[in-house]
Amino acid sequence: MCGTNNREYLNLTPTQESSCACCATPATSTAPADVSGTVYELEGLSCGHCVQTVEKSVRAVAGVDSAAVTLVAGSTSTLTVAGSATAETVRAAVASAGYAVV
């Protein structure tokens, strides 16, 4: 369109320099090291979108002060939840997001 070939002008970042969780190394942590709370092991997470989906679902639960996932793509990831929410409600939130607590 407009007489230019946009494909030639895309300035894409090589995946090695990308901060995208989908392109990052297999072990990617979104949680600070000093986060404390109840830890759950999760299966089925493979990228940053998975992490965001679980964190958003769990943070919506009454009694959850914070929720952070440490992603290990292709293996067991961890979810750390701080607050007074019960394990049953956290498990239900993870399940509703489409993932499984081990």
Of residues 36, 50, 27, 33, the one with CA closest to residue 81: 36
pTM (2 d.p.): 0.67
Which amino acid would we find at residue 44? Answer: G
pLDDT band for position 80 (cuts 50, 70, 90): very high
User: For the segment 33-45, what is each residue's pLDDT rounded down to a tens digit?
Assistant: 455 799 999 998 9
Confidence (pLDDT) at 36 = 79
pLDDT tens across 64-75, in order? 999 999 999 788
For residues 79 and 41, what is the distance between their CA atoms, to the nearest angstrom? Answer: 6
pLDDT at 74: 80
Average pLDDT over residues 48-60: 95
Between CA 96 and CA 99 the distance in angstroms is 7
User: What is the per-residue pLDDT for 62?
Assistant: 96
Question: Are 74 and 20 in contact, with CB atoms under 8 Å apart?
Answer: no
The residue type of 58 is V
Q: What is the mean pLDDT of residues 65-91?
A: 94
DSSP state of 11: -
Return all residues near 9 (Cβ < 8 A) that are at least 6 apart: none
Q: Which amino acid is at 100?
A: A
Distance CA 55, CA 42 (A): 12
Supply the pLDDT for residue 56. Answer: 96
